[in-house]
Amino acid sequence: MKVAIVGVSGAVGQEFLRVLAERNFPMDELVLFGSARSAGRTYEFKGKKLVVKELKEGDDFKDIDIALTSAGASTSKAFEETITKHGTVMIDNSSAFRMDIDVPLVVPEVNPEDCKNMPRRIIANPNCTTIQMVVALKAIEKLSHITRVHIATYQSASGAGASGMAELEEQTKEVANNQDPTVEKFQYQLVNNVIPHIDVFLDNDYTKEEMKMYNETRKIMHSDVQVSATAVRVPVMRSHSEAIWVETEKEISVDAAHRAFEEAEGIVVIDNPAEKKYPMPLYLSGKDEVFVGRIRKDISNPKGLTFWTVSDQILKGAALNAVQIAEYLVKEGIVK
Ligand code: 2RA
């Protein structure tokens, strides 16, 4: 089994290295690809130094079984042919192919079987906010069909990559020293602020980020569920939080919801308000799971529930989900 990482120098690319090593992914060789700027850099993997090769058209992917790609949508589109033409399965973390009808969009806890139909040898990794949400929604859907979801996201700086995290760190120091904060990656100062604007605004006055949650959730869950999101950037380093309201066909009790979350794959419940126990990004970054708390009836809707989720955007929101897809492909013998 030969695996490639494309975009290894980025925040998600670096997390691919860590997750593959930590989960001891079964492979004989790992090849690293990056831009001309990254070519020649070395990264350690399981005690060996690997040199980054420049991603170029040609036959570099001839013997590669799985390529984990996270180098931006334009790069994924430009190199689709180069990566897949010899049969390599491209598990792509960018937004390039997510809504293509012939590309499965997969969260292993929710719709793993969709991996079995990949005519273009591409499997798309959903947007980070969608991944953590559908892991939680899956538990509720098993109890009763979800007809409507409202979400408010509290998205960390890591969603804007390593440079986003660096800018938050820089602003924190500058503001502490009464200096004008550096504002390049985000629309405004992020420290002591929240910004209700992630990606570009569309004609319906939702942002592209918010419409990803509508479109991707319906594709992954094979559902007509109605979804309305407000995506907000908050001064947190690397975990996204989400306040979620669901409406279901049948009324669901809080106890039933609690049990469903407790029993669900990939979820850890932290929910004891009396003891001030609820998920918080500061304490859960670097962990694999989706954390669920504040589970309660939606007092405005007899068929409504509301709850809070936290998950590491770079891990389950990107690198871990992609590696879990690769693990599924190997377990099912889809890639040998
Ligand atoms: C963000 N979900 O948080 C987007 C891209 N990772 O910025």
With a 6 Å cutoff on the Cβ, whether 129 touches ligand 1 is yes
Active site residue 128: yes
Going from the C-alpha of 217 to that of each of 99, 130, 147, 256, the distances in angstroms are 11, 6, 12, 23
Nearest CA to ligand 1 atom 4: 159
| Percentage above 70 pLDDT, the chain | 100
Q: Specify the pLDDT at position 56.
A: 97
With a 6 Å cutoff on the Cβ, whether 229 touches ligand 1 is no
Catalytic residue among 115, 128, 222, 258: 128
Q: What is the mean pLDDT of residues 273-287?
A: 98
Q: How confident is the model at residue 6 (pLDDT cuts 50, 70, 90)?
A: very high
- CA of 199, closest atom in ligand 1: 7
Active site residue 240: yes
Separation between Cα atoms, residue 227 and residue 237, nearest integer Å? 26
With a 6 Å cutoff on the Cβ, whether 231 touches ligand 1 is no
Dump the DSSP string for 274-293: GGTB---HHHHTT--SEEEE
Q: What is the mean pLDDT of residues 220-247?
A: 98
Q: Specify the pLDDT at position 266.
A: 98
Q: What is the mean pLDDT of residues 43-72?
A: 97
Q: What is the mean pLDDT of residues 91-97?
A: 98
pLDDT tens per residue across span 102-143 = 999 999 999 999 999 999 999 999 999 999 999 999 999 999
pLDDT tens per residue across span 145-157 = 999 999 999 999 9
Catalytic residue among 86, 222, 240, 258: 240
Q: Position of tokens 């997390």?
A: 15
With a 6 Å cutoff on the Cβ, whether 130 touches ligand 1 is no
Q: Specify the pLDDT at position 316.
A: 98
Q: Specify the pLDDT at position 144.
A: 98
Q: Specify the pLDDT at position 17.
A: 98
Among the listed residues 174, 305, 320, the one whose alpha carbon sits nearest the alpha carbon of residue 243: 305
Q: What is the mean pLDDT of residues 78-99?
A: 98
Q: Which domains does the chain have, with CATH numbers?
A: 2-126+318-331 (3.40.50.720), 130-313 (3.30.360.10)
pLDDT tens per residue across span 48-57 = 999 999 999 9
- Tell me the pTM: 0.97
Q: Specify the pLDDT at position 241.
A: 98
With a 6 Å cutoff on the Cβ, whether 133 touches ligand 1 is no
Nearest CA to ligand 1 atom 7: 159
Binding site members for substrate: 155, 233
pLDDT tens per residue across span 180-191 = 999 999 999 999
Q: What's the ipTM?
A: 0.95
Q: How confident is the model at residue 308 (pLDDT cuts 50, 70, 90)?
A: very high
- Which residues neighbour 98 within 8 Å (Cβ) at sequence distance 6 or greater? 105, 124, 126, 127, 212, 215, 216, 219
Q: Specify the pLDDT at position 63.
A: 95
Binding site members for NADP(+): 9-12, 37-38, 158-159, 313
Q: How many CA atoms lie within 13 A of 151 on its CB side?
A: 31
- Token pair recorded at residue 80: 């689709």
Going from the C-alpha of 290 to that of each of 148, 151, 199, 243, the distances in angstroms are 21, 16, 24, 13
Q: Which alpha helices (DSSP H) does 113-160 contain, by range?
A: 128-141
Q: What is the mean pLDDT of residues 24-36?
A: 97
Strand-strand pairing, 290-297 and 304-312: antiparallel
